[in-house]
């Protein structure tokens, strides 16, 4: 039997990052993977979707070239080539992880891993043991009983990324990050898209101003949006698919080529031996403490399979913390209140901390500042005037409670707010930090200035 210091089960941004950090800290490490290195993020999530969205963005530029004084006489999309490019990008990233495993002298064990008692893992009949076992098996698309996925007419995100043919029409159920990213992608490519959202607003976890702005932008681009609406049944017996949608006004039947179900995720906890080992699970998630130890000593869990935001950067941060704690380092628990969330449709969304509503609900006296990109020189020059930056500060102590952005490139801007909050900066410190001109990031400084009645360009 092969013996390791640490074995990681699953090689997503939780698993492979845990393995690399473990190797850096001198542990003899192996990672077990049943599919492709890099997990959902690199193969079926973050990266291939961003590749598709980039193609959509370039296509939008071509469509609107005249707005930039350019004349593009002939242009067209090649849906198959767009998908092929996305798969190529994903494959390249997965190969990159393969290289990193080799570079860090991490053994990659191919196959399905099942936990056993005594800190062992069975991989397709062969047994391995370790002093520490980290579970990072991730998640998959959640299926609703009213919306069973057949992979053809009712699909999840994996199929949506590799459709052999572009559908003429699509219903997207759910308007979280995954739903709106695909809605934008398919609409840009020329598919008729309808979003059906159960809650009263799209991107419902965002600040209400952001939700409203996205709804406005999406409607302008021709995406049909139904909120406070629920798909109660689907009929796939005909050529396309019919969805019965319940709204406050009654029932309506929508027809489309395809339904994309984007209603959240389901963790991969089945068949991996959790019950045999006695690892506690609650509401589909493996229970862990602040340092990712499960209730059974020597077994840890990180990433989507645990509570906390199901995001790649969260999985990676948990991975590093978990391994450093195993190594006996003095580590601080992760602050789940300071995790940035990003959505990469056009316009992009990025946010961190409390929304205005949440701050008010907590009874905090706040100062709110907002700066629209329509007043930004860089946004005007780039032809990207939609959106804004909104900041929320504690009125008494100046603590930066929340930052909410919607507009071009904001996913690259949010780190300023995350760092500022981590360093417990105050509004006045941000205000007195010189931002480069002309940049979209000036809007952060101006939004803060607006909160303190010192805004210059409004
Ligand atoms: C369409 C889409 C877009 C996304 N976009 C973003 C984004 O832009 N930004 C962001 O932060 N997050 C994004 N996410 C979420 C992100 O992909 C996940 O949060 C992240 O991948 C979780 O990492 P993980 O390591 O916990 O698990 P995963 O990435 O799910 O990896 C788990 C791995 O474990 C393997 N595995 C499972 N069980 C076993 C077993 N028994 N034996 C061996 N191997 C096993 C799986 O094959 C998989 O490779 C997106 C997700 C989707 C679906």
CA-proximal residue: ligand 1, atom 37 (nearest): 137
Considering the domain architecture, whether residues 12 and 103 belong to the same structural domain is answered as: yes
**Residues annotated as part of the active site:** 437
Dihedral angle computed from the Cα positions of residues 277, 38, 195 and 205, in that order, rounded to the nearest 10 degrees? 70
The stretches of 327-385 forming alpha helices (DSSP H) are 356-361, 377-382
Cα 178 to averaged position of ligand 1 atoms, centre (Å): 13
> 112 and 26: one domain?
yes
Query: Are both 85 and 126 inside the same structural domain?
Result: yes
Distance separating alpha carbons of residues 450 and 66, to the nearest angstrom: 35
Which protein residues are within 6 Å of ligand 1, measured from CB? 9-15, 32-35, 39-41, 45-46, 49, 112-113, 136-139, 157, 178, 268, 272, 303-305, 310-313, 315
Nearest to 129 by CA among 144, 139, 119, 140: 119
Q: Same structural domain for residues 197 and 82?
A: no
**So what's the pLDDT on residue 68?**
98
> In this predicted structure, what is the pLDDT of residue 91?
98
The predicted-structure confidence for 316-352, as pLDDT tens digits, reads as follows: 999 999 999 999 999 999 999 999 999 999 999 999 9
Taking alpha carbons only, the member of 258, 260, 256, 282 closest to residue 269 is 282
Where on the phi/psi map is residue 398: left (φ > 0), alpha (ψ -120 to 50), or beta? left
CB environment 221-249: b (16+ within 10 A), e (fewer): eebbbbbebbbeebeeeeebbbbebbeee
Residues 133 and 184 in one domain: no
Looking at the fold, whether 136 and 6 belong to one and the same domain comes out as: yes
Domain limit, last residue, from 243, 263, 283: 263
For 354, the domain range is: 347-451
For ligand 1, what atom is nearest to the CA of residue 114? 41
Both 14 and 136 in one domain: the answer is yes
Region of 121 please: left (phi>0), alpha (psi -120 to 50) or beta. Answer: beta
Where residue 60 sits, what CATH number does that domain have? 3.50.50.60
Q: Quick one: pLDDT at residue 210? A: 98
Q: What is the pLDDT, as a whole number, of residue 259? A: 98
How many domains in the chain?
A: 3
**Separation of 139 CA from ligand 1 center, angstroms?**
6
Q: What sections of 152-207 are H helices per DSSP?
A: 157-161, 177-189
**Do 127 and 192 fall within a single domain?**
no
Are residues 408 and 271 part of one domain? no
Question: Could you say which residues of the chain have pLDDT below 50?
Answer: none
pTM: 0.98
The partner residues of 390 in beta bridges, in order of sequence, read 370, 404
Question: What is the distance in A from the centroid of ligand 1 to the CA of 82?
Answer: 22
Instruction: Indicate whether 249 and 326 sit together in one domain.
Output: no
What is the predicted pLDDT for the residue at 448?
Answer: 98
Residue-level pLDDT at 357: 98
Query: For residues 189 and 76, is the Cβ–Cβ distance under 8 A?
Result: no
The pLDDT value recorded for residue 262 is: 98
């Amino acid at each position: 039997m092969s013996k390791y210091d640490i074995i990681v089960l699953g090689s997503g941004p939780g698993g492979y990052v845990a393995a690399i950090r473990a190797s850096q800290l001198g542990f003899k490490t192996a990672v077990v993977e049943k599919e492709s290195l890099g997990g959902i993020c690199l193969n079926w999530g973050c990266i291939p979707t961003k590749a598709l969205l980039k193609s959509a963005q370039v296509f939008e530029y071509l469509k609107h070239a005249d707005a930039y004084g350019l004349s593009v006489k002939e242009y067209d999309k090649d849906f198959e080539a767009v998908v092929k490019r996305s798969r190529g990008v994903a494959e390249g990233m997965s190969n990159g992880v393969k290289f990193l495993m080799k570079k860090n002298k991490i053994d990659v064990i191919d196959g399905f891993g099942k936990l056993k008692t005594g800190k062992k893992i069975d991989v397709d009949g062969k047994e391995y043991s370790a002093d520490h076992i980290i579970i990072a098996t991730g998640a998959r698309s959640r299926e609703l009983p009213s919306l069973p996925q057949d992979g053809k007419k009712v699909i999840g995100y994996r199929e949506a990324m590799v459709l052999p043919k572009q559908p003429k029409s699509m219903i997207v159920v759910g308007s979280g990050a995954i739903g709106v990213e695909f809605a934008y992608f398919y609409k840009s490519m020329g598919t008729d898209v309808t979003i059906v959202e159960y809650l009263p607003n799209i991107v419902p976890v965002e600040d209400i101003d952001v939700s409203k702005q996205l709804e406005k932008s999406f409607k302008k681009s021709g995406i049909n949006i139904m909120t406070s609406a629920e798909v109660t049944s689907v009929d796939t017996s005909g050529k396309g698919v019919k969805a019965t949608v319940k709204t406050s006004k009654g029932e309506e039947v929508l027809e489309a080529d395809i339904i994309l179900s984007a209603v959240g995720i389901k963790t991969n906890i089945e068949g991996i031996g959790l019950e045999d080992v006695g690892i506690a699970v609650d509401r589909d998630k493996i229970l862990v403490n602040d340092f990712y130890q499960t209730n059974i000593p020597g077994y840890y869990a990180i990433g989507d399979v645990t509570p906390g935001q199901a995001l790649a950067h969260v999985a990676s941060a948990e991975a590093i913390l978990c391994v450093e704690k195993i190594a006996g380092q003095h580590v601080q628990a992760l602050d789940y209140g300071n995790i940035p969330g990003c959505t990469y449709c056009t316009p992009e969304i990025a946010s961190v901390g409390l929304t205005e509503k949440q701050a008010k609900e907590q009874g905090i006296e706040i100062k709110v500042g907002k700066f629209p990109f329509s007043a930004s020189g860089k946004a005007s020059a780039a032809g990207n005037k939609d959106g804004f930056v909104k900041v929320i500060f504690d009125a008494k102590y100046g603590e930066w409670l929340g930052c909410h952005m919607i507009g071009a490139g904001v996913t690259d801007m949010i780190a300023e707010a995350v760092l500022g909050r981590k360093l417990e900066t105050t509004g006045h410190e941000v205000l007195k930090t010189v931002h480069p001109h002309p940049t979209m990031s000036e809007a952060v400084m101006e939004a803060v200035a607006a909160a303190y009645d010192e805004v210059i360009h409004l």
